[in-house]
Amino acid sequence: HKPQGFETQKPTNSKVYVMYHGTTRKNANIIMEKGFKRSTKGMLGPGVYVSRDPKKALRYPLKVKPGNQVVLELLVNVGMVKKINRQGHPMQKTWHKHGYDTAWVPPDCGMVDSHLEEDCIWDPKRIKVLNILEPDELNSESDEEDNDEDDDEEEEETSCEDEDDEEEEEEEWCEDEDEDY
């Protein structure tokens, strides 16, 4: 069980974290055999998209058939981390060229509709798969955590006008059957 608010803190440089990646069963097997492959597109440019929040990984891949989704539990050495906290950040897609190993989008910063944190890891070799988890395993954990919070608060999906273009690009690269989050 992770401490509450864990995802709101910037990953500390050179630390190792448990993170999550949503994918299909087929791609999970390929990742287990050959390792991760860097995506070529996405909100933060090329890299492997992961999150310390399992709720974020449960949202991917988009348009997956029921029963075909799994979440990989990972051990990630983040190396040097760059915080990207707004659309149009000068290093939004070029952070790696400036010596960073990971780009981190904090939760609730207006970059993604889900309001959840995410990370983009440049070098797939920084990622080790620990487990393949079924979504219902994570959903039961999420439900328990949600019950601890105020029941009157409902999480709602909102869309900020200035992020629509970038969000569409993120969805575009995820819609392909072979692309994951």
pLDDT value of position 152: 34
**Distance separating alpha carbons of residues 116 and 122, to the nearest angstrom:** 20
pTM: 0.74
pLDDT value of position 137: 86
Q: Within the chain, which residues score under 50 in pLDDT?
A: 1-5, 145-181
Beta bridge partners of 86: none
Phi, psi of 113 (to 5 degrees): -60, -35
Beta bridge partners of 49: 120
Predicted confidence (pLDDT) per residue in 115-165, tens digit: 999 999 999 999 999 999 999 888 766 555 444 443 333 322 222 223 333
pLDDT value of position 8: 65
pLDDT value of position 171: 28
Q: Which CATH number fits domain 15-133: 1.20.120.420, 3.40.50.300, 3.90.400.10, 3.90.228.10?
A: 3.90.228.10
Token pair in block for residue 102: 């990971």
pLDDT value of position 139: 79
pLDDT value of position 6: 53
Kindly list the domain boundaries of the chain, sorted by start residue. 15-133
Rounding to the nearest 10 degrees, give the CA dihedral for residues 169, 5, 146, 22.
40
**Distance separating alpha carbons of residues 31 and 168, to the nearest angstrom:** 26
pLDDT value of position 91: 98
